Amino acid sequence: MAFFQCQFDSEALQIKVSMNVILPDHKTGPHPTLYLLHGLSDDHTAWTRQTSIERYAAAKGIAVVMPAVNRSFYADMSHGAKYWTFVGEELPRIARSFFPLSAERRDNFVAGLSMGGYGALKLGLSYPERFAAAASLSGATDVHRLVVENFAGDIRLALGQPESVAGSSTDLFALAESVVDKRPIPLLYQCCGTEDFLYADNVRFRDHCLNLGLPLTYEEESGDHNWEYWDSKIQNVLNWLPLRSES
């Protein structure tokens, strides 16, 4: 695999931003692509520093794009910058201008952990016509609860007040309902350790998706909110992705 560290100007954010990109060796592309999102206390370097994602992706022949979004909760922030516009619209366009990445829906996937798990599901459910699959590892699936409790102190800077979150485009429960009658619907994957502080939220979201009849694969076992768990589960995600055989 080839590894790239990129800094570029973002029109959406009006700052210079960073992303790390892994590309398959000895292939000309366009490559199937996994957008891999970081958690609240991490950045675009976390997945490569804490897991063997480069080695795992090499075995699958898939490109991996890892952007930095700070503590934005993948939102056009209530008090801050337009990170949702950046990750949802600007990032794919810029990444494809720099690298030979496929623009076809069947070749585009998104995954993330914790805050990034929320971001991955939000992208998949908001843009079902662009992503074939979305995977959440220990995801922050109930952001309304987190806003009510003012989790981490600054979450309201990103998402706003509780009354503006419930039922909105930032609420995964509402987004799940919005895709029920749409086609295509992305495949969904969700996992969470039973000792994780977000476990109950994940169970509620799992049940919500299953009651709606969405194509959800769910896994749980003993595990906590840590990199040992995520390093193991990202391998499951890569095995689960509907990659074309010729990739």
List, for residues 191-245, the tens digit of each pLDDT value. 999 999 999 999 999 999 999 999 999 999 999 999 999 999 999 999 999 998 7
The answer to whether the beta carbons of residues 187 and 217 sit under 8 Å apart is yes
Bridge pairing between strands 133-137 and 187-193: parallel
Side-chain half-sphere CA neighbours of 130 within 13 A? 17
pLDDT of residue 27: 82
Residues 6+ apart with CB under 8 A from 21: 3, 4, 6, 63, 64, 65, 66, 95, 98, 99
Contact 206, 142 (CB under 8 A): no
CATH number at residue 13: 3.40.50.1820
Whether 51 is covered by a domain: the verdict is: yes
Distance CA 145, CA 172 (A): 12
Would residue 204 count as lying in a domain? yes
Contact 90, 73 (CB under 8 A): no
> Does the residue 106 lie in any domain?
yes
d(CA 241, CA 100): 20
**What pLDDT score was predicted for residue 154?**
86
pLDDT at 150: 85
Residue 13 inside a domain? The answer is yes
For residue 14, the model assigns a pLDDT of 96
Domain count, the chain: 1
Q: State both tokens at 171.
A: 């609420």
Structure confidence at residue 247 (pLDDT): 41
CA–CA distance, 115 with 118 (Å, rounded to integer) = 5
Can you give the residue range of the structural domain that contains 36?
Answer: 2-238
> In the 3-class helix/strand/coil scheme, how is 125-191 assigned residue by residue?
HHCCCCCCEEEEECCCCCHHHHHHCCCCCCHHHHHCCHHHHCCCCCCHHHHHHHCCCCCCCCEEEEE
Let me know if residue 247 belongs to a domain: no
What pTM did the predictor assign?
0.97
Residue 246 lies in a domain: no
Asked if residue 243 belongs to a domain, the reply is no
Report the pLDDT value the prediction gives residue 246, as an integer from 0 to 100.
58
The structure tokens listed for 68 are 């930095």
Contact indicator for 51, 42 with CB cutoff of 8 Å? no
- Please, what is the Cα angle at 201 between 40 and 161, to 5 degrees? 65
> Is 223 domain-assigned?
yes
Q: Spell out, as residue ranges, where the chain has pLDDT lower than 50.
A: 247
Cα-to-chain-centroid distance, residue 1: 22
